[in-house]
Structure 1
Amino acid sequence: YGNELTGLCRPEELFRLTDCARRVAKRYNLTIDSAMITDVPGYTWGIVPALAHSGVKYLSAGPNHIHRICYTLAEWGDKPFWWVSPSGEKRILCWVAGRSYSWFHRGRLGPVKGVKPDTFFEYLEELQASGYVYDMVQLRYSIQGDNGPPDPELPEFVRRWNGRYVWPKLRIATTRELMTAFERRYGDRLPERRGDFTPYWEDGAASSARETALARNASERLVQAETLWALLNPTRFPDAHFATAWRDVILYNEHTWGAYCSISKPDSQLTRDQWRIKQAFARDADRQSRSLLHRAAAKRRSGKTPVAAVDVYNTCSWPRDDLVILPRNLAVAGDVVQTADGQSVPSQRLTNGRLAFLARGVPPLGAKRFVFKPGETRPAGRANAGGRRLTTPALEIEVDAETGAIERLVWKPAGDDFAGGTQRRRLNTYHYVPSRDPQTAQELAAGVTVRVEDAGPLVASLVVESPAPGCRKLTRRLRVVDGLPFVSLCNVVDKEPIRTPESVHFGFDVNVPGGIMRLDIPWAIIRPETDQLPGA
């Protein structure tokens, strides 16, 4: 249970958010069909099918009332609607509390016993003036501040109010009680809405980029590990260990990002102490996911050296061709790689000492065996790196000498240059904004070096290094593989510890005339502005 930054979640994580509820419901024969989220403004569209598939019909949202919420409350406060899933097959009743979750906190109204009756009547008049057509409304109630205690005086206040006034009546209710009654009365009259309620706060995760990467990779690794356990050893599936690992991933992506003073006093002892707790979730998730993945294939390892063969598993549901890079410390019988039936497989020793080979036709949810024979790798392929250029039979990439960005990205079969030449701003450009004002953005000034890392013929790569504003060093790696139709980019930012508002951006001015921008988000693909809810 947490108030999740859903925009950070990988697809499987969204389903794991209801793990605890489903376990409790099953154990105690309960119905848990309502959810609440507090403080966070905005929620990724994939939360709709994730909740609906878990039996959750209702979502009560109580966002922050002022801090970086933009139009969340203005557009959706007290405007309940059916939120339809991306597929159109599911929907949940979503209701954003118009007075947010904190109306009764210190600095606002305070505990209800001190609130003047006119405050509630003025609120009802405001609702009526806005066209509100329902005869019930939700008021989130918590006192003092975040994590405040229950108010023991609330029941007596409600009793006295209802004894004094004929209307409106106050009722202390659960989310389920409220939503069930509301749906029964108005469900067939509510509007349906489709789109991403794009969140506002997820950008803050970049302040701890290393740990965010650990958590994201752990999430993907857990999905792979679960698949391998299901394929290789289903009767011994370590459900409790997976539940613990998923819990750590989810708690890292929960919205409380350290101490209340992490921005104003980032180096204080309180901030550091609380950060260590938050950081531990990412580190523990990383460690547990690696252990579960390693254990999944334990019975498949022979333990003999040198290794005579490896099985390459595909945990996806479609056939795959991809590059396999073996660990540096894996002693193999030789660098000649073949399929199990003796067909030659392109391979290459990389400059870092690791053996790479191209695995083709690995079946979905299955494996393919590759055998090692004595001898050196047999040069095969037409990938090449030279100067500032990378080429394969299908691709041609050229790096700009001054900025290190991609100035040419040509798909040879069609002759299209996706970088667009000198008329565009290139691809993978670096931009640093040393404030909240984008007009202050800085770019690379000088000092770019480009060197060949792997020359080919199977794998070809370039390393682009430079100083960069806001950083000690910026390293960008570009890699192509003969037989694969894409270029891989890896940007490593060695940040300076700057304690004022800032941001780092990488730009891709892609040359696709008439193209439509689409974003891949969990369980949906959206077009910005078109597939977003108003106020997102």
Structure 2
Amino acid sequence: MKVFLVQHSHSDPGYTHPRDEVWRHQLRNIARSVAFAREDPEYRFTVECFWMIDEALRRGIPLPEGFIEAARDGRIGLTATYLNGSDHLDAEDFRRMLRYARRFCDKHAIPLRSAMQCDVNGVSACLPDLLNDIGVTRMSFAINEERGGAPFTRPNAFFWRGPGGGRILVYNGFVYLRANEYGMHRGFDAFCEGARRFAEDLARAGYALPVCLLQGCGTYDDNGLAAPWMAQMARAWRESGGRRQREGARDPAWSDAGSSTSGRTEALYRDFEFVSATIDEFFDALEACGASFPEHAGTWPDWWSDGLASAPLELKRAYEARRTLRAIEPLLEDKDKAVGTVFEAAQRDVWMYLEHTFGSWRSVGEPEAPDTKRQWADKSRLAHRAAEEAALLAEDVLAAAARGGGCICFPEECQIADTAASTLPREDFPDQGRLNVRPEKALSLSLTVEAPSGPHATATLKAMANPLPGELIRFQIESFELADATRVNAPTDSTARFRAQMPTLIREDLIGGRLALRHGNPEARLQRTEAVVDGIEACGGSAGSGVRARLILPGWSDLTISEQATVDGAGRELTLSGVQQPDVAPHAYFLVFQPLVDPVEIRVESGGFRHRPGVDELPGGCRDWHVVHQGVEIRGRDGTNVTVWSPDAPVVHFGGINTGRWGRDVRPQNGALAFCLYHNYWYVNFPATAHGRMTYRFRVAAGPGLDARSLLESWSRPFLVFVDSPRARALRERRLPRLSGAAIE
């Protein structure tokens, strides 16, 4: 068996060192590797991610001398991966990130055929399609199974098909520092002992391919230092094979008659041929080995995606920055280079915040250590800076757009059925997508929006100056009407905010109702405290009247939850707001929707792919929670259809609060959706506490078979749950108990 030793330095910005130190350190690794490759023709190194090269390029820092040539002739490998992402990055994020390595390699005639993902134990299903779009057909995964898992028995290889038909060859190997775990970097004797342990692991897994990948770093650490030991050990193994085989034959571990894999282990060990290689060289051999590989389809949910939920304010700001940037991007096409530079910098900050690394390696054991605080400050700064830059950019760009023209974006499923403006021709208004607007001509605009579900709406709008961040153009509503509704005049301070995700129109005839906070299962194994209602009052807003409840819940002050009809009357909007108090004890907060419907199917829109949790997924991916980008759709057996979405709490548990459950399936049978507002269970890389003013928004929309009044009765009655018990403390330990989840009946 030919074993390809692939050396790389795992990119973990903000884990061992702050981000700005990590990319400079990784650049030095490239320089060291170029020097090693000059001295030893067998030396190989693979640059795991492209972001550190991009950092140098955009700062005008020269790349190491000889790097381009070494990459061009294959001594140093490049991959298409920009960074090791989390499920919080969506399909458009990945599409944009992949362009950087592609452009660079095309410019310098460097081959780019493979991608890598290390550490993270999941990724979006869009990757096969997006990688194929840039000509990449192979990808290696080196998953860290702590607090997570990997599909199938590792190592293995399979074709992974994306929802758009793209296909990549996946090698699902051992964890990225496995060679170092075996101690193979400590000298030749340790290398031989590590090879024996490697043979045991392969025999135990029933590995049958003639080639295998073994990854490692020059030093045993994330962001480790490049070193020449892999090429040296491969050469020493080849040159001293006779002594190695004789010593292996005398190994008492192989004389154990009770070991079912001892013979296979010895055979593998004797047959090993080690070679230092890049990831491309390994995949070339894998494709040429003549083996047939199974094909699988579905998304690959990430177990670590809930880590970012332990910092809800920063996560919310990163999501807001992304929405704002995408909303204003259509107006940037003709802007100067300086504006484009600010836009790209804010976009990179969003990506780096949503990257898999969350904080210092010592954050759990030493949450008050200066290093812990420094690296979390560096991480959180990315989200806040992105949000602030996006808001300022939006203010400048949209103010100019309000004076000189702009556009309104609609989701593709909504169509602009009719428009009328005093001097604007009809062809300026496409049926869907983007609506071009010239405010100097369209001081008054009438338009009709048709959606696949819910009533159609017609509004007369008047363009206003001073657009707000996240909005393309702000309009004052002069009047509006819904299908089968009486035309009314809107209040003078009402506005219609056409956002990229959901266009809305204001109406007055809202459906009233009471907010109910219902109790959960008293037999839940995790102790839970439900919020106590301290009073209910009427409240108003841009969409009209509603109700607001004052709540009492441990760890919060000034806590309220308000409910009102959506502006189109087809759903309900809920807003939870309060001041969270600092508390380092393990705890969590969830807002749980418990429908009075019998669900038959759940669909989640995440990563550009609408799928059924637990069905359209690779086995071994996360089942306890999912990241939701565009909403959760629940279909009832009675034909009802409901969509629930939150722009501020994207991590959702299905069927109940699943923390500590580590399930292999999804529990949709009762239809409960538990939106994680905050937790500090994440046993590494989290801030010890989060505090301050927090606001969470939720939207519950009725589809066919369920009118708005029925929706009020069956859906918009969530309960707020506080989880706190001695059992929760165990969730911080590296060996996590297999608790049964807090089922919500």
For Structure 1 versus Structure 2, the TM-score category normalised by the shorter chain is: 0.7 to 0.9
Q: Which deviations, in whole Å up to 9, do the C-alpha atoms of 1:97-128 show, x marking residues without a partner?
A: 22x11224479555354525253245335424
What is the CA–CA distance in structure 1 between the aligned matches of 2:489 and 2:406, rounded to whole Å?
Answer: 16
Check if 1:68 corresponds to 2:171.
no
- How far residue 312 of structure 1 moved from its aligned partner, in angstroms, is 6.7
Which residue is equivalent to 1:136? Answer: 211
Correspondence for 1:307: none
Please tell me whether the aligned partners of residues 5 and 43 of structure 1 are also in contact (alpha carbons under 8 angstroms): yes
* Secondary structure of residue in 1 paired with 2:540: strand
Q: CA deviation at 1:439?
A: 1.7
- 1:183 maps to 287
Change (3 A) 1:482 1:104: closer
Q: Identity over the aligned pairs, expressed in percent?
A: 21
1:509 aligned to 2:603?
no
C-alpha distance in structure 2 between counterparts of 1:279 and 1:327, whole Å: 34
Give 1:382's aligned residue: 509
Contact 2:188 2:236 in 1 (8 A): no
Displacement of 1:329 after TM fit?
Answer: 8.3
Structure 2 distance, partners of 1:438, 1:325, is 53
Matched AA of 2:574: L
Of 322-331 and 251-260, deviating more is: 322-331
Answer whether contact 2:399 2:466 (CA < 8 A) is retained.
no
Post-superposition shift, 1:212?
A: 0.7
Q: CA deviation at 1:452?
A: 1.4
Matches within 5 A, 1:41-190: 41-65=121-145, 67-69=146-148, 71-72=149-150, 75-87=152-164, 89-98=165-174, 100-105=175-180, 110-111=185-186, 113-124=188-199, 126-128=201-203, 130-142=205-217, 143-165=219-241, 167-186=271-290, 189-190=292-293
In 2 relative to 1, CA 461–382 (structure 1 residues): closer, same or farther, beyond 3 Å?
same
Q: 1:26 to 1:241 in 2, by over 3 A?
A: farther
**AA in 1 matched with 2:382:** F
Cα distance in structure 1, aligned partners of 2:499 and 2:558: 41
- The 8 Å contact of residues 332 and 340 in structure 2, kept in 1 or not, is answered as no
Residue matched to 2:115: 35
Q: Deviations over 1:18-71 (max 9, x none)?
A: 232123123213232211122212222233323332332221111225x212x3
Shift of 1:330: 8.2
Counterpart Cα distance in 1 of 2:359 and 2:536:
39
Which residue of the other structure, out of 247, 254, 269, is the alignment partner of 2:348? 247
Q: Cα 1:33–1:510, aligned 2, differ >3 Å: closer, same or farther?
A: farther
Aligned partner of 1:275 in structure 2 is 376
Structure 2 Cα separation of the partners of residues 243 and 475 of structure 1: 37
Greater CA deviation, 151-160 or 475-484?
475-484
Structure 1 position 18 matched with structure 2 position 80: no
> What does residue range 340-359 of structure 1 map to in structure 2 within 5 Å?
346-348=489-491, 355-358=493-496
Match 1:337 to one of 451, 454, 478: 478
Alignment pair present for 1:451 and 2:537: yes
Q: 1:50 to 1:295 in 2, by over 3 A?
A: farther
Q: Which residue of the partner structure matches residue 8 of structure 1?
A: 88
Relative distance call for 1:477 and 1:446 in structure 2 (3 A) is closer
1:467 aligns with 2:529: no
- SS of residue paired to 1:140: strand
Q: How far did residue 474 of structure 1 move?
A: 3.2
How far 1:346 moved relative to its partner?
A: 4.5
User: After superposition, what is the alpha-carbon deviation per residue over 1:222-269, rounded to whole angstroms, capped at 9, x for unaligned?
Assistant: 221223334xx3787954333222211111112221211222222332
1:483 aligned partner? 568
CA displacement at 1:514 relative to structure 2: 4.4
Between the aligned partners of 2:361 and 2:617, the Cα distance in structure 1 is: 31
Unaligned runs of 5+ in 2: 1-50, 52-81, 242-269, 417-448, 450-456, 469-474, 481-486, 622-745
Q: Distance in 2 between matches of 1:325 and 1:356?
A: 11
Quote the Cα distance in structure 2 between the aligned partners of 1:270 and 1:235.
40
Cα displacement (A) at 1:522? 1.1
Q: Letter of the 1:180 partner, please give it.
A: D
Q: Which amino acid aligns with 2:408?
A: Y
**Cα pair 2:331 2:406 within 8 Å, conserved:** no
Mark the CA change 1:328 to 1:42 in structure 2 (over 3 Å): closer, same or farther: same
Q: Which residue of 1 aligns with 2:528?
A: 442
Aligned residues: 458
User: Residue 630 of structure 2 aligns with which residue?
Assistant: none
The equivalent of 2:296 in structure 1 is 193
Deviations 1:183-228 (A, max 9, x none): 23346x1111112221111111122110111111111222212233
2:183–2:194: 8 Å Cα contact kept in structure 1?
no
- From the superposition, tell whether residues 277 and 19 of structure 1 become closer, same or farther in structure 2 (CA, over 3 Å): farther
| Distance of aligned partners of 1:128 and 1:325 in 2 relative to their CA distance in 1, 3 Å threshold | farther
The residue aligned with 1:421 is none
- Aligned residue in 1 for 2:609: 524
Tell me, in whole angstroms, the C-alpha distance in 1 between the residues paired with 2:330 and 2:402. 18
User: 2: distance between equivalents of 1:298 and 1:357?
Assistant: 17
Amino acid in the other structure paired with 2:591? F
Q: Is the 8 A contact 1:72 1:535 kept in 2?
A: yes
TM-score, normalisation: structure 2: 0.55
Distance across 1 between alignment mates of 2:85 and 2:358: 10
Please list, as runs of the form range in 1=range in 2, the aligned pairs for 1:222-261 lying within 5 A after superposition: 222-230=325-333, 233=334, 238-261=339-362
Q: Distance in 2 between matches of 1:170 and 1:496?
A: 56
**Structure 1 residues 37 and 330, CA gap change in structure 2 (3 angstroms):** closer
Residue by residue, what CA displacement relative to the aligned partner does 1:401-445 show, whole Å, maximum 9, x if unpaired? Answer: xx2x5xxxxxxxxxxxxxxxxxxx7xxx8x99xxxx962231325
What CA distance in whole angstroms lies between the structure 2 residues aligned with 1:118 and 1:335? 74
Contact 2:86–2:356 (Cα < 8 Å) also in 1: no
Whether the 8 Å contact between 2:86 and 2:304 is mirrored in structure 1 is: no
Distance in 2, Cα, partners of 1:380 & 1:130:
62
The match for 1:210 among 313, 326, 335 is 313
- 1:492 Cα deviation (Å)? 2.6
Cα 1:438–1:35 shift into 2, 3 Å: farther
1:6, CA displacement in angstroms? 2.2
Q: Name the CA shift for 1:235/1:494 in 2 (closer, same or farther; >3 Å).
A: closer
Question: How far is 1:460 from its partner?
Answer: 2.4
Separation in structure 2 between the aligned mates of residue 363 and residue 72 of structure 1, nearest angstrom? 38
1:479-520 deviation per Cα after TM superposition (whole angstroms, max 9, x unaligned)? 214534121222235322221332221211223324211111
Per-residue deviation, 1:138: 0.4
Say if 1:382 and 1:173 are closer, same or farther in 2 by CA, change over 3 A: same
- For 2:583, give the aligned amino acid: I
Q: Offset at 1:477?
A: 2.3
Contact 2:564 2:574 in 1 (8 A): yes
Greater CA drift, 469-478 or 177-186: 469-478
Q: What TM-score do you get using the length of structure 1 for normalisation? A: 0.75
Runs of 5+ in structure 1 lacking a partner? Answer: 304-309, 350-354, 371-378, 390-397, 406-424
RMSD of the alignment, in Å?
A: 3.9
Cα distance, 1:459 vs. partner?
Answer: 2.0
Inter-CA distance 208–348: structure 2 relative to 1 (3 Å threshold): same
Q: 1:83 to 1:208 in 2, by over 3 A?
A: same
Give the 3-state SS of the residue equivalent to 1:201 in structure 2: helix
- 2:507/2:569 contact within 8 Å kept: no
